[in-house]
């Protein structure tokens, strides 16, 4: 459904052993490249959290938002720019949007 970006090199190096080689594209780090990093989620992890009671915030792009919607996941667009979309999984309290 999409790869995390902007977490990149700092997150990867703080979350992995010094002996682990850097990925070819450090700004496209996936959970599979850093399995011990609980802050990175697989698509399966994201789907579980989007369906849960706890609010999730997600910065992504329109294609990823559309893929999440097509998968039937509860995503509500809170805002957007030309390049990014801010989503959440639960409606905001009235007067806060």
63-93 tens-digit pLDDT: 999 999 999 999 999 999 988 899 999 998 8
pLDDT (tens digit per residue) in 42-63: 888 899 999 999 999 998 889 9
Q: Is residue 2 left, alpha or beta, with left meaning phi > 0 and alpha meaning psi from -120 to 50?
A: left
Q: Which DSSP symbol is given to 62?
A: H
Domain spans, the chain: 1-40, 54-97
Residue 1 has pLDDT above 50, yes or no: no
**Residue written as token pair 């970006």:** 5
Which one is predicted more confidently, 81 or 2?
81
CA 96 to chain centroid: 23
> For residue 88, what pLDDT is reported?
95
């Amino acid at each position: 459904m999409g790869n995390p970006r902007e977490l990149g090199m700092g997150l990867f190096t703080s979350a992995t052993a010094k002996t682990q080689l850097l990925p070819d594209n450090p700004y496209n780090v996936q959970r599979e490249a850093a399995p011990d990093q609980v802050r990175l989620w697989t698509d399966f992890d994201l789907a579980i959290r989007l369906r849960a009671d706890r609010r999730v915030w997600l910065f992504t792009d329109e294609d990823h938002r559309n893929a999440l919607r097509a998968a039937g996941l509860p995503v509500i667009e809170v805002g957007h720019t030309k390049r990014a979309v801010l989503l959440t999984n639960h409606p905001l309290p009235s007067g806060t949007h």
